[in-house]
Amino acid sequence: MNLIKVKKIIEYLNDIEELVECKGAEVSTVEGFSSIYDSIPNTISWMRSQNIDWDNVHATLIFCDRNCVPPEKEMQKRRFVKVNDPRYTFFNTLTKFSKSGKKKNIHMSAVIHESAEIGNNCYIGPNVVIGKNVGILKGTEIHANVVIEDNVKIGEDCIIYPGAVLGITGFGHQKGKTNRLERVEHIGGVTLGNSVEIGSNTCVARGNISDTMIGNNSKINSLCHIAHNVKIGNNVGISVGVMIAGSVIIEDNVWVAPGSVIKNSVNIKKGAFIGLGSVVIKDVDEITTVAGVPARILEKQM
């Protein structure tokens, strides 16, 4: 990583209104970021508590809580930057200063239907397959081996990680006159808002009539299944291994922990938290935490 001027970091912390105070030795540049427990010389780290074995700390710039009292001996060797939230500030700064620049090309092995529209500054990786009437807006990254079926719309600055599949036919069947399962045709699509992320080997099924929808800034981890007609709001976090059945509605700012299963047609309202490994079989109210099999209310904030 290139050298980063500490002056630029301080200016950035002022811009995001996180900086409280700087104390200790003068440090003009750093070379990157490292964990406080496995720190590297001339890097930035952050500390949660003051119970630290300083003999094993090598970082030269440390983000700490505004109420932290750094040891006098350590202030002679490194600079302490007091902030409102050390963890948030550290990772926010890491994101700001360690970006490697977006890829902006279409790999020669990608197969793209002539009707698809690809925006400016997009990246389409190796062996990607893109179907008919697909729209991908500017700045989006589609990584290796992704399959995007027909009638999928993807917003700006999204990231689709390797192996994801968008727009597959949903698991929709009905019993015919002979009691034999017959496939129901799915004519809907998938619509993703801006800054959406879809993890590796995650599947998002298209709607049977209207689109399956995922709102702005929602993040879906790897190995998830999003069934047909699901509606996911803005700023929703879906952790690894989550299975969401058909026609579920998940409103804004919900968090779904790893390994959860959500029954079809359930409505999870704004700000709810679904605990680890939960099986959700009925609606969840706003700002409510549920967990268990079946999921039960653990906490509701007023």
How remote is the C-alpha of 202 from its chain's centroid? 13
Q: What is the DSSP string of 15-27?
A: HTT-EEEEEES--
Please enumerate, as own/partner, the contacts of 233-237 that have beta carbons within 8 Å and a separation of 24 or more. 233/270, 234/193
Decide: residue 285, CB within 10 A, 0-12 exposed, 13-18 middle, 19+ buried: middle
Helix (H) or strand (E) run with residue 11 in it: helix 6-15
Separation CA 190–CA 179 (nearest Å): 31
Count of CB atoms situated within 10 Å of the CB of 296: 12
Angle of helix 6-15 relative to helix 86-97, nearest 10 degrees? 120
Q: CA-CA distances (angstroms) from residue 164 to 136, 222, 246, 261?
A: 15, 8, 19, 19
What gap in Å lies between CA 287 and CA 273, rounded to an integer?
Answer: 7
Residue written as token pair 């630290």: 52
List 143, 186, 225, 228, catalytic entry: 228
Q: Is 228 noted as a catalytic residue in this protein?
A: yes
Helix or strand holding residue 165 (H, E): strand 165-168
d(CA 259, CA 277): 5
| Residues known to be catalytic | 228
